[in-house]
Amino acid sequence: MTAGSNATGDSGNAIAGEKSRLTRRGVLLGASLAGLGGALAGCSTAAVPYDANEAGVVEQKTPEPGAMTGSGAMTGSGATPGSGSMASSAATPDPGSSRATGKPEKGAMGPKVTGTVLGAASEIPVGGGKIFTAARVVVTQPVRGQYQGFSAVCTHVGCILSEVTSGTIDCPCHGSEFKITTGAVVTGPAPRPLPKKPIKIIEGNVVLL
């Protein structure tokens, strides 16, 4: 009885120990599966940047001194738009040019004369006058520097006046005389004064306008 009892007892202990080992393996396997499931559940499917750290965060790097953004080599220097090397040089006139000094350019023409040049103003005597037969104009200078222009055609029958003397403009045909100041009739038979002619002294010349 004693030997049989021991054999039976040992067999039972062996079975109990085997069951205990199997139970522990099951518990460990279940715990491993649970941890793996939790790990899989905690994983995110979002894309992670290449330079992210272990937490998935991209660290902001401070730009180094002298980098292109901070140095202003391209933007801040203003080499193209801000330097003004092209715009300012084109806008500022050359100090020696005629635009800067206000002087006329070399070879520039003086005041343009429009009209017919009758002759030199120095040819008109003070207190007298001169008859320009081709233009049919008589120019007088009653007072120094004051010039008058009249038609040299007598208002009587159309003769050309011949001379200026003693303060009158005289007609050779019938003796009519006209004042050198206004062209008014002094002696007939001329019925009307001499019509005025527009003249101007330009650069020392008498010009019929």
Which domain CATH number covers 135?
Answer: 2.102.10.10
Residue-wise over 124-161: b if at least 16 C-beta within 10 A, else e? beeebbbbbeebebbbbbbeeeebbbbbbbbbbeebeb
Cβ atoms of 207 and 120 within 8 Å: the answer is no
The domain total for the chain is 1
pLDDT at 113: 58
Model pLDDT for residues 13-45, shown as the tens digit of each residue: 555 555 556 566 665 665 566 555 554 555 555
- Mean pLDDT confidence for 72-76: 44
Is 104 among the domain residues? no
**Encoded amino acid at 104, one letter:** P
**What residues make up the domain containing 177?**
116-208
* Secondary structure (3-state) at 86: coil
Which distant-in-sequence residues (6+ apart) come within 8 Å of 110 by Cβ? 203
Is 138 among the domain residues? yes
Using alpha carbons, select from 123, 130, 114 the residue that is nearest to residue 209.
Answer: 114
Is 129 among the domain residues? yes
Q: pLDDT band for position 114 (50/70/90)?
A: confident
Is 44 among the domain residues? no
Cβ atoms of 162 and 136 within 8 Å: the answer is no
pLDDT at 29: 63
Mean predicted lDDT score pLDDT of the chain? 72
Is 79 among the domain residues? no
Is 98 among the domain residues? no
Percentage of the chain beyond pLDDT 70 is: 46
Is 108 among the domain residues? no
Residue that wins the pLDDT comparison between 101 and 25: 25
Degrees to nearest 5, angle at CA 118 with 193 and 191: 10
Structure token pair of residue 143: 């007072």
Give the whole-angstrom CA distance, residue 117 versus residue 137: 12
Is 3 among the domain residues? no
